[in-house]
Chains A and B, each alone.
Chain A
Amino acid sequence: MVKPTDRSSEGGPRVSRRGLLRGSAASGAAAFGNFAAGAAEAQQSQETGSTAPTVTFSINGSERTATLDARTTLLDYLREDLDLTGTKVGCNHAQCGACTVLIDGTRVNSCLTLMATLDGAEITTIEGLDSEGDLHPMQQAFIDNDGFQCGYCTPGQIMSAIGCVREGHAGSAPEIREYMSGNLCRCGAYKGIVAAVEQARDQVEEAG
C-alpha cells in the first residue's frame, strides 16, 4: 500500500484551499445526520464508552461543524450523512483504495480515517473536483483512456491519481504503476489508468 502521509512534500497552491475560501462564507451549519442522531445516545452509554467530539472541517470547500460518534469514519460520514456517495466503500480496511479522498491535498483512505481526527482539515472528494460542470483534467483523461469499466473504483483511482501526481510519483509508467497499486481495479483497467495519469500529469502539475 503506497499512501505517503508526508504532507510537506506538496508544493504550490491547492485546489482544495481555494475551494475552502470560496465556499466557507456560505456554510457553517452543523451537520446532524444518522450518525449524529445516534451519537447523543451513544455518548450517554457507559457500556460502549464512546464519546461524541465536535469537529470543524471543510468538504469540497464548504465548512462544516459536526458532533459525531467518535467511531464515525470519514467514509461513512460522507456517504451516509452527507449523501456524497461518489466516494465508494470497497473493504473498510484500507486494502482497496476505493474510498480515497484528498485530505489537505494528500490522498488518504477515508474508511480508516476517523472524523474525530479531522478538526481543521480540508477534505476534497470526487464531487469537489469539477468546476462549474467542467471536468477536472484527470476525470477527462480517465474517460479518454477508458481507465475504468464498472466505474466503482474510479472515484478512488482519480483522487489517488491526483495525489500521485502531486507527490511527484508519476514520472514514468513503471512509477505510476507502483504508486497507483494501492487502488485495486478488479475489472483490470490498469493500462488505461496509467495512460490517463500520463495524459493528465502535466495539467495537474501546473494546477498544483
Chain B
Amino acid sequence: MTIGNPINRIDGKLKVTGSARYAADFAVGTPLYAELVTSTIGLGRVTGVDDSAARRVPGVREVYSHANPLPVDAADFFGMGGRAQQSWQPFAEPDVRFNGEIVGLVVADTLIAAREAARSMRLDYETQEPAAVFGAEGLEPEELPDRGLSAGDIEAAMQAATQSVDETYRTSANTHNAMELFATTAQWSGDELTVYVPSQWVEGFAAGIAEELGIDRSRVRVVSPYVGGGFGGKGSLFTWTSIIAAAARDLGRPVKLYVTREQGFTTASYRAETEQDFRLGAGEGGRFTGFEHTGREISSRADTYVVNGSENTSRMYHADAVRTGVTCVHADRQTPGFMRAPPETPYFFALESGVDELAWKLGMDPVELRRVNDIDREPVNGVPYTSRSLMECYDAAADRFGWSDYEQRVGSRTDGDWLVGWGCATATYPTLMAPCSVRLHLDATGTARVWVASHDVGTGAYTVLAQATAQALGIPVENVSIELGDSRLPPGTIAGGSISTASNVSVIEIAARQIHDKLGTTAETMNPEEAFANYGQRAIEEYAEWIPPAASRKQARTLYNGKVAIVGGPEEDYTAFAFGAEFAEVRVHKYTREVRVPRLIGAFAAGRIMNEKTARSQYLGGMIWGLGHALLEKTEVDPRNGKIVNANIAEYLVPVNADVQELEAILIPETDEKVNPAGVKGIGEIGIVGTAAAIANAVYHATGIRVRHTPIHVEDLLPQA
C-alpha cells in the first residue's frame, strides 16, 4: 500500500539543502535589476515625475513611469473570469487609485543602484481624500442580489424561534505574507519569453502575460517549480509581471525584480475586511428555525470581488428557512483576492460564534447543539451530502480534548492568575475540482514519469502524486518522478480551492488505466520487465484528461484556454464538503489580559488521505493560520490616507513558534465514493476554518466577554467597568 503512507516528502532533500529553486533563485546570466516605485498618496493623480536624480545614480539603465510607460495592456480581471489580479495596469495613466500602487519602475545594473534610484524618484501628486475603510464617506456599496440564497419564509421561521441571536460580526483585512518575497525574472530569447515568478497558476500566468504583451501564448513560458508559500496570494497574475517582461524586451537583457515585503502588502492581493449581519433562531430542543447571513466586503473602486461565504455557512446545519446576501463595498483600495479559505475564514467566524452564542442562551452544550442540527441534506437545495462526518469529528476531538469536563459557566476554570476557557467550532471546506490532464510515462525498468502543469506550494503535491502514480501503476514510489510548475507541461490545475489532489489523482488513475489496458496488466500484477517484453516496446507514454462530471462544456474547455473553472461544493444534485471540529483552550491573564492558546485540537474527515504525514502538516498549518486570524493578524489601514501602516512582517503579526503549544490534528477515516474517482476531498484550507471562532468562544468562556471581531486583542478584554 502506497497511498496513505506517511512517507517523507520526495522533494525534502532539495528543500533542506537549499537546492530547490524558487522564482528568484534561477540564474539568468547577468540580469538587470528592477525596483518598483509606489505611490505615497491614497487617491489622486501624478502631476509630475522628476526622475533626474534617479537617472544620475551610476548603473541606472532606464526609469519608467506614466511619463515613460511600457506597452502593456491589462489582462481581464480574475474575478470576472480572466487571469489578472485587478482590471487595470499600473502607470498606464497618471491616476493613483490606492496608497502603495505602483507608479514607476527603475532598472539598473545592480540591485543596490536600483534601490537607490527608486528612492531618488520625486513624484508630485494632486491628492484627494480616499474612502478606504468601512465607515468612510464616499464608499460605493454594490448589492449583488444574484449572489444571495433564499429558501422558506425567513421571517416566519425567526418568529417561530424561542431563542435567537442577531448580531454583527467583523473580520479584519489580512495579508498573505508568504515567506517568499514576490519576485519576477523575465528573459527573452528572440521572441520567446521565459518568466520565473512564484505562481499557483502557471498556465493562467502565461496566458495572461501573452494577453498583456500582445504576443502568442505559445511564446510565453512560466516556470515555478517551487513556491515559497501560496495561500492564494499567487493565484492570479500580478500587475508587475508583464511590466518586467516588457522592460526586459525594451532593454534587451534579462530583468530581475524583488518586490519588497512592504510593497507586497499593496501590490499583491489580500483578504478584505468584512462586516456580517447574522441571525439564527432555535426552537424547542435547539433545532434551528431561521438562518440569515449577509455580508459586506471591501473591494477596489473598479473591481467587483466578494467571497460571499454565506453560500456555505447556510449549508452547514438544519434550518427551516434560509436567507443570505452580499454587498460589495467599493473603496479606494487595491483589489482583494483569494486568501486561504477565502469565503469560509471570515464567514465561519460569524456562524460558529453565533451558534456558540445561541448555545449559551439555550443553556445547551455547544457540541450537542450542533448534533441536534446535524443533517444529511443541505437546507438550501435539499440535496444530499456525498458524505458528512461532522459529528464523528466532534466526538473524536472532544474525547481527546477532555470536553466531558466542560462546564458552561463563565469563570468556571482558573489557574493562578489565568482565566481558562474552552471553546469549539466546526471546520469545513467544499470539495472542489477542476479539469486536469496528465502525461504519464512508464518504461520497462519500472520507472514512471509524470508531467502536469499543476503545483506544489508546500502542500506535498510532488509526494502524493508520486504515491498515487505508484499505487495506480503497481510500482515502488521511489521509481516515480514528478514534474510540476511549468506552463509548458500538460494542462493542470490552479493550486487553489483545495482542488489539486482530487483533480490530479483522478486523472493520473485514468492514465495509469490506459497503460494497464495496453500492457494487459493491473496494479496488482504489474511486472514491468515482463509486461513490456510481451508488449514488444520498452516504454509507453499516455496522455489523459479528466473533466469533473459537474463541469459544463464551457468549463471543460478551460483545460486548454488558460482559464480556470472550478466545480463542486454545493451543486444542484449533490453537495460535497469536508468537515472537521476544532477545540481550543485559551488562557487570559487576569491582569494583563494577554491571551495564550495552550491547546488546539482538531479532528478532520476528508475522504481518502493520500499521505498522513503531509496531510497532518496541512491541517496543523491551517490551524496555526486560524490562531493568527483569531489573535494576531490585521492589515491596518490608516483611514486618513489609505496607507497600510504595518506593512512589514514584524508589525503585521503572524504566529511564531512560541505562539504554538499543544497542537494536534486527528485524522478521521472516511470513504466517499461519490465525490470524485479518487475519493479525495481537499485539505489545504479546512484547518483555518473554525479556529478563530473556537478561540473566540473559549475567550468568552474564560472572561464573559464576547468579542465579535477578529483579531481579538488585549484591549478588547479589559475588565468591564
Contact = CB atoms under 8 A, between A and B. Distances in A.
B112 interface: yes
B86 interface: no
Contact of A69 (B21, B110, B625, B649): B110
A79 B57 CA distance: 23
Interface in A90-107: 90-93, 95-96, 98
A182 B57 CA distance: 35
A33 to B, nearest CB: 8
Interface centre among B9, B15, B109, B622 (most CB of A within 10 A): B15
Interface centre among B109, B179, B654 (most CB of A within 10 A): B179
Contact of B18 (A42, A87, A183, A187): A87
A29 interface: no
Contacts of B663: 190-191
Contact of B17 (A34, A79, A139, A149): A139
- In which size bucket is the chain B interface? 35 or more
Nearest to A126: B18
A191 to B, nearest CB: 5
A192 B179 contact: no
A153 B227 CA distance: 11
A64 interface: no
A151 B657 contact: no
Interface in B606-631: 613-614, 616-618, 620-625
Contacts, number: 208
Interface stretch (B23-31, B399-407, B417-425): B23-31
A107 to B, nearest CB: 14
Given A42-B113, A149-B617, A152-B178, A184 B649 contact: yes
Interface string A166-208: 0000000000111011111111111111100000000000000
Given A150-B229, A191-B620, A191-B663, A90 B9 contact: no
A119 interface: no
Contact of A139 (B16, B33, B613): B16
Nearest to A141: B16
User: Per DSSP, are chain A's interface residues mostly helix, strand or loop, or mixed?
Assistant: loop
B17 A143 contact: no
Contact of A83 (B13, B27, B56, B261): B27
Contact of A96 (B58, B459, B649): B649
Contact of B112 (A72, A91, A98, A158): A72
Contacts of B109: 34, 37-38
Contacts of A71: 112
A34 B658 contact: no
B16 A180 contact: no
Contacts of B620: 188-189, 191
B78 interface: no
Given A90-B649, A127-B17, A186-B231, 12 more contacts: A34-B33, A34-B110, A35-B110, A79-B24, A88-B228, A95-B261, A139-B16, A149-B617, A150-B178, A186-B177, A188-B621, A190-B657
13 contacts: A34-B111, A35-B112, A38-B58, A79-B24, A90-B649, A96-B261, A127-B18, A139-B17, A149-B459, A150-B228, A151-B15, A152-B458, A191-B660
Interface of A: 34-35, 37-38, 41-42, 44-45, 47-48, 69, 71-72, 76, 79-80, 83-93, 95-96, 98, 125-127, 129-130, 135, 139-140, 142-144, 146, 148-155, 158, 176-178, 180-194
Closest 4 A-B residue pairs measured CB to CB?
Answer: A86-B18, A150-B458, A152-B228, A151-B15
